[in-house]
Amino acid sequence: MSETHAATKDRSSVRSLLRLWPYVRPVRVRLFSAAFVAIVASCLGLVFPLVLKWMVDGPVADRDTGGIWLGALLLLVLGIVEAVLFGFRRWLVARPLAGVEAAMRADLYRHLQRLPVAFHDRWPSGQLLSRGTTDLMLLRMFLAFPLTFLLVNATTILVGFLILLMQDWSLGLVLMIPVVPLVILCSFFESRFALVARRAQDQVGDLTTVVEEGVLGIRIIKGFGRHRSQSLAFRALTRRLRETELEKARLLAGIWAVIMAIPELAIAAALVLGTIQVADGGLSTGTLVAFLSTALALRWPVESIGFLLAMSQESATATERFFEVMDVQEEKDVREGDAPGHASGHEPEGGGGLRFEGVSFRYPDAEAGSTPVLERIDLHIEPGETMAVVGATGSGKTTLTALVPRLHEVTAGRITLDGEDIALMPRERLRELVSVAFEEPTLFSATVGENVLMGAEAADEDALRRALDVAQAGFVEDLPQGTGTEVGEQGHSLSGGQRQRLALARAVVGRPRFLVLDDPLSALDVHTEALVEAALRQVLRETTALVVAHRPSTVLLADRVALISGGRVAAVGTHQELLRSSEEYAWLMSGAERDPGSAAGSESGSETASGAVEESIR
């Protein structure tokens, strides 16, 4: 957080806010028109003191009743015109600024969908939510009010001081004395407030994350009786945010008190000097009334400076936070010669199916020189073949499957589909060829049918029914509206096994050429698993598949098995071959406890495990 504060201190608020121009440019005519209307309305307020001067030195001094009524009527007309102009200004900006906010929110959402998975792994969801809601609301408010009135008030103060100097230059100079200390104090306030505003907005993001996790994880919280600990954590964050907001309030109160006090003292001094001049005959009563009325009319433009600066600083911080996300580079289709591990001019080798050639992977935020998650992976899955990937927890199986649809980019080597390097494919085409089902089935707040058809936008009702049959998702027919039933947020209205079956249906609905399944049957009971496996075998005959497996029954779906150990391919062969030749594989399949210190008798141990596995399958 300290690094963020340092960056906030060094940056220019004006430079940050200027980055909003591409969004403001389409509505600039209405914004400039609104500012002009507001300036005219504000300057009309400065005509009131001139009318009062005429009334005091004219009709009032001459006891002209008709002139007094005329002056009152003129003041009434000016007030009505001023009110109408300010209302017109608000109408001018309301619709276009709502459009600006909507455009920024749409761009942010679109950008988030195109950012690498590694970005979402690092960023808390609450921070992203606060940028798309609270921060954009602040920016709309800034464009609607502070931006306009910083210009309006500056113009009003300038015109007002010119009128003061024209009425009496000596009294005008008295009122100008506070300008220098006010500028210095506002500059100091701006730098201090920027740091606190950034801290508060970051803390709002942290608080949003905790609230979201508390709602999504309510079953865990209730199941383990962690209401108190979660409440204490939430209370600690709210206390931190409260203290920060109070610090903001203290800063704003301090600057507002100073901004109000100094001009009031100057007005008091001008009143005393003006009264003396009237008594000496050097100044007319009407001129003093007009002078003081003008000075009082300038109170709001001057006193609002602190409030407007505070909102501007919060908006500059919100702009920074918005563009922190927007500046992150999106996933891009790699051009030839730029692919990781791909030399310019190198032609892809022939060979169909799915092939891993010397693939290594290290997470982008890993320390330089750290051990790769995957290292020198060489695998070839023939067209129409199914290969199971087996390995201990943390061996890199899931990471390997994430590389095929390019959720992560390989650090070295390459992956080809039917001889074509995936790094040279447009992502849209790649993800049409490859369909995936993850270990954690994620469903959206949509209908069952919409969730399944996310796997193939052009699929029809027959394809939907076929996919549900493959996944043995007949339970859908018992739902209130069948495939039109809303499953709710995260699909929590369904059981874990039901969610997993719908995720599997989503993967197979488009009859993909390549299928990547990450332990797709882990949440199913043995009877449902057997039915799904029988239907899935028909699908696997039509596709090239890579399946992460933990149980022997899932492994039996595959033609061959690859054993991953420590991020490398330790062995490849059929299930029976690996049971006989690999002690680690036999141990993984048997689920027996392992004695890592036992080297002797490994062959007999392997045979024992093999027998246990075969017995469990039978």
101 in any annotated domain: yes
C-alpha–C-alpha distance, residues 583 and 392, integer Å: 13
How confident is residue 356, by pLDDT bands cut at 50, 70 and 90?
very high
Residues with Cβ within 8 Å of 537's Cβ and at least 6 positions away in sequence, in order, are: 557
Provide the residue type at 471 as one letter. A
| pLDDT number for residue 3 | 42
pLDDT at 214 over 90: no
| pLDDT number for residue 96 | 87
pLDDT at 604 over 70: no
3-state secondary structure of 20: coil
3-state secondary structure of 594: coil
List, in sequence order, every residue forming a beta bridge with 394; answer none if it has no partner. Answer: none
Q: Where in the sequence is the domain holding 438, given as residue range(s)? A: 354-363+371-573
Average pLDDT, the chain: 81
C-alpha–C-alpha distance, residues 255 and 223, integer Å: 50
Largest pairwise CA distance in the chain? 124
Mean pLDDT of the region 529-555: 82
pLDDT at 196 over 80: yes
Task: Of 124-133, 444-453, 514-523, give the lowest mean pLDDT range.
Answer: 514-523
**Residue closest to 433 by CA, chosen among 595, 351, 543:** 543
> Percentage of the chain surpassing pLDDT 70?
89
C-alpha–C-alpha distance, residues 133 and 478, integer Å: 38
> Percentage of the chain surpassing pLDDT 90?
11
List, in sequence order, every residue forming a beta bridge with 568; answer none if it has no partner. Answer: 565
**Residue closest to 56 by CA, chosen among 68, 70, 74, 73:** 68
Mean pLDDT of the region 345-368: 75
Residues for the chain: how many in total?
618
Half-sphere exposure of 345 (CA within 13 A, CB side): 0
* Structure tokens given for 442: 């994620």
Report the chain's C-alpha Rg in angstroms: 36
332 in any annotated domain: no
C-alpha–C-alpha distance, residues 145 and 138, integer Å: 11
C-alpha–C-alpha distance, residues 34 and 295, integer Å: 25
335 in any annotated domain: no
Judge if 616 and 509 occupy the same domain: no
C-alpha–C-alpha distance, residues 583 and 570, integer Å: 11
Half-sphere exposure of 413 (CA within 13 A, CB side): 21
C-alpha–C-alpha distance, residues 322 and 104, integer Å: 9
343 in any annotated domain: no
223 in any annotated domain: yes
How confident is residue 416, by pLDDT bands cut at 50, 70 and 90?
very high
193 in any annotated domain: yes
| Eight-state DSSP code of residue 394 | T
Give counts: helices (H), strands (E), the chain.
28, 10
* CATH number of the domain within which 413 lies: 3.40.50.300
> How confident is the model over 398-410, as pLDDT tens digits?
889 889 988 888 8
pLDDT at 311 over 80: yes
| Eight-state DSSP code of residue 322 | H
How confident is residue 165, by pLDDT bands cut at 50, 70 and 90?
confident
Task: Of 76-85, 450-459, 517-526, give the lowest mean pLDDT range.
Answer: 517-526
Helix 28-44 × helix 65-114 angle, to 10°: 150
Mean pLDDT of the region 143-149: 83
Judge if 200 and 252 occupy the same domain: yes
C-alpha–C-alpha distance, residues 250 and 609, integer Å: 71
- Cβ(544)–Cβ(385) under 8 Å? yes
- Cβ(512)–Cβ(435) under 8 Å? yes
479 in any annotated domain: yes
Looking at the structure of the chain, the number of domains it has is 3
Judge if 507 and 614 occupy the same domain: no
Judge if 590 and 564 occupy the same domain: no
C-alpha–C-alpha distance, residues 269 and 521, integer Å: 84
**Straight-line distance from the first to the last Cα atom of the chain, in angstroms, rounded to the nearest whole number:** 58
How confident is residue 8, by pLDDT bands cut at 50, 70 and 90?
very low
pLDDT at 594 over 70: no
C-alpha–C-alpha distance, residues 292 and 53, integer Å: 10
Judge if 96 and 122 occupy the same domain: yes
pLDDT at 347 over 50: no
Judge if 63 and 188 occupy the same domain: yes
| pLDDT number for residue 182 | 79
C-alpha–C-alpha distance, residues 427 and 334, integer Å: 9
**Residue closest to 144 by CA, chosen among 242, 31, 251, 252:** 31
Pure H helices in 179-226: 179-216, 218-223
Judge if 527 and 581 occupy the same domain: no
Judge if 400 and 515 occupy the same domain: yes
Judge if 314 and 375 occupy the same domain: no
* 131: number of Cβ within 10 Å: 26
Task: Give the residue from 273, 306, 326 where a domain finishes.
Answer: 326
Mean pLDDT of the region 242-270: 84
* Structure tokens given for 273: 């000097």
| pLDDT number for residue 4 | 46
How confident is residue 560, by pLDDT bands cut at 50, 70 and 90?
very high
194 in any annotated domain: yes
Judge if 247 and 162 occupy the same domain: yes
C-alpha–C-alpha distance, residues 160 and 166, integer Å: 10
Q: What share of the chain is helix, strand, coil (3-state, %, to 5)?
A: 65, 10, 25
Judge if 617 and 505 occupy the same domain: no
* CATH number of the domain within which 246 lies: 1.20.1560.10
Most confident of 27-31, 212-216, 226-230, 492-496: 27-31
Judge if 591 and 538 occupy the same domain: no
- Cβ(224)–Cβ(247) under 8 Å? no
